[in-house]
Amino acid sequence: MAPDVETVEKLFEELRRVSYEAAVQDLQTLKTFAQTDDLKHWNISFWAEKQREMKFNFTSEDLRPYFSLP
């Protein structure tokens, strides 16, 4: 448990700072894959799934049996 809100905010800022460049690079890679510079936020999950399918040769549906509830 964090002792106070300020500590949590410092952690969030540190995480944002160290992950920002990787996120920008990932978005650029996704834009290249989608062949557009105008990738809308509502299309990101679609193109990310298509990129994963091509890159790793499986779909999220292939994983369903391993992560479904009984």
Tens of pLDDT, residue by residue over 16-55, are 999 999 999 999 999 999 999 999 999 999 999 999 999 9
In the structure, what pLDDT confidence band is assigned to residue 12 with cuts at 50, 70 and 90? very high
- Number of domains, the chain: 1
Taking 90 as the threshold, does the pLDDT of residue 68 lie above it? no
Taking 80 as the threshold, does the pLDDT of residue 69 lie above it? no
Measured CA distances, 36 to 11, 46, 52, 69 (Å): 34, 14, 17, 37
Domain span at 46: 5-67
- The mean pLDDT of 58-63, rounded to a whole number, is 89
The DSSP secondary-structure symbol of 48 reads H
Output the pTM of the full model: 0.78
